[in-house]
Amino acid sequence: MQLSSSDTLAWKGLMNNIKNMKATWGDSVAIEVVVHGPGIGLLMKEKTNQLDMIIDFKSKGVVFNVCENTLADRKISKESIIPEAGFVKSAVVEIILKQEQGWTYIKSGF
Amino acid sequence: MQLSSSDTLAWKGLMNNIKNMKATWGDSVAIEVVVHGPGIGLLMKEKTNQLDMIIDFKSKGVVFNVCENTLADRKISKESIIPEAGFVKSAVVEIILKQEQGWTYIKSGF
Amino acid sequence: MQLSSSDTLAWKGLMNNIKNMKATWGDSVAIEVVVHGPGIGLLMKEKTNQLDMIIDFKSKGVVFNVCENTLADRKISKESIIPEAGFVKSAVVEIILKQEQGWTYIKSGF
C-alpha cells in the first residue's frame, strides 16, 4: 500500500483498510505500507497520530517502510522516524518491485 | 475502479472514464466501481449528482458497489444508498480479490 | 504512471519518481506517463513548470502522453501541448491496455 498524503483522514483510512484486511485474512495476508512525499508524516515521531495502531499492526506482521529519497529531499533525519518503521531506498521502486513479485497494489488517500 | 473521494469533479471524471471504456470496448469490458470512505457520496441518494449516468451504465452492465465497513464507520444506513448499488463487505478486500482474479486496477480521483 | 492532478507539487513528485526509477534501473526501465483531467497542465505549454525535466527524461526514453478525451472535454487544442508529448485516445484505456501487457501501474499525486 502506497501513502503519499499528509491528510490525517487518509492516515485513518489506511488504518481502517489494514484493519479490514486483517479481519478478513488474519495472518495469511502480507501487508507492506510504503510512505513517501507528504505521506512521511505518518511515520514521523512528531507528526503521527496513529502510533498505537502502527505498533499493534507491526506486532501482527504489517511492515511500515519510509522512502529514503523523501528523507533526503526533505532533509528529515532517520532519528525523526518512529522505531517501528523500516526504510526503502525509493518508494516507487519498492512498489514496482513488489508488484512484479505478484503483490497487489493499493493507493491510499482520496 | 476505486473511488474514495468526495470531490464531485472526481465523480464526473469517473463517469468520463467509464464512458471512454464503454466507447472503446462496448459490452466486452467488465467494470466494477467500488466506493468507500468519502467516496460513498457518489452512491448516496441525497448526495449523488450522477444518478442518470449511473442508471445508464448499470443498464449496460457496470457494477457499483458500496463498502459496508464505510457504512458502519459513518453510521450510514443501507436505505440511504441508491437502489442501483450493491454492497461489498470491505472495499479494499474486494479490490484485492478482483486484482488477484486478474482485473485491472484504476484509482479514481486526483 | 497516471497523473490526473493539477497540483504542481504532484508534478514535482512525479519527476522525482522518474528520477529515482532511472537512478535504479537506467535504460532498462520503460516509463510512460499518461496525463488526463486536471493533470493535463503538466504537458501544456502555458502551464507546465517541469519542461526541462520533461525534455531530459524524453531524451532518455520516457514517454509522455496526453489523453485526447481530456483535450476534447476541456476544449484544449493540440497546439497548446508541448511538442515533447504524444497523444493517446483515452488515458484510462491506455492504462488498462498497458497493465494487461504486464506494465506496472503507479498512480501519482497525493
| Contact state of A92 with C105 under an 8 Å Cβ cutoff | no
Q: What pLDDT digit, counting tens, does each position of B27-48 carry?
A: 999 999 999 999 999 999 999 9
Which residues of chain B fall below pLDDT 70?
none
3-state helix, strand, coil in chain C (%, to 5): 50, 15, 35
Q: Average pLDDT in the A5-9 region?
A: 97
pTM passes above 0.90: yes
Q: Is A15 helix (H, G, I), strand (E, B) or coil?
A: helix
Ramachandran region of residue C67, left (φ > 0), alpha (ψ -120 to 50) or beta?
Answer: beta
Give ipTM to 2 decimals. Answer: 0.93
Q: What pLDDT digit, counting tens, does each position of C72-81 carry?
A: 999 999 999 9
| Contact state of A110 with B107 under an 8 Å Cβ cutoff | no
Among partner residues B9, B20, B109, which is closest to C92 by beta-carbon distance?
A: B20
Nearest to A31 by CA among A56, A4, A62: A62
Q: Which chains border A (3 or more CB–CB pairs < 8 Å)?
A: B, C
Q: Residues 6 or more apart from C65 whose CB is under 8 A from it?
A: C32, C33, C34, C35, C85, C86, C87, C88, C91, C94
Distance CA(B2)–CA(B39), nearest Å, equals 9
Q: Is A16 helix (H, G, I), strand (E, B) or coil?
A: helix
- What percentage of chain C exceeds 70 in pLDDT? 100
CA distances from A48 to A40, A59, A82, C61, C109 (A): 9, 18, 9, 39, 20
Confidence class of residue A59 from pLDDT cuts 50, 70 and 90? very high
For chain A, which residues lie within 8 Å of any Cβ of chain C, measuring from their own Cβ?
2, 4-7, 37-39, 69, 73, 89-90, 92-93, 95-96, 99-100, 105, 107, 109
Report DSSP state, residue A47: T
| Contact state of B20 with C107 under an 8 Å Cβ cutoff | no
A-chain CB neighbours of C110 within 8 Å are 4-7, 37-39, 109
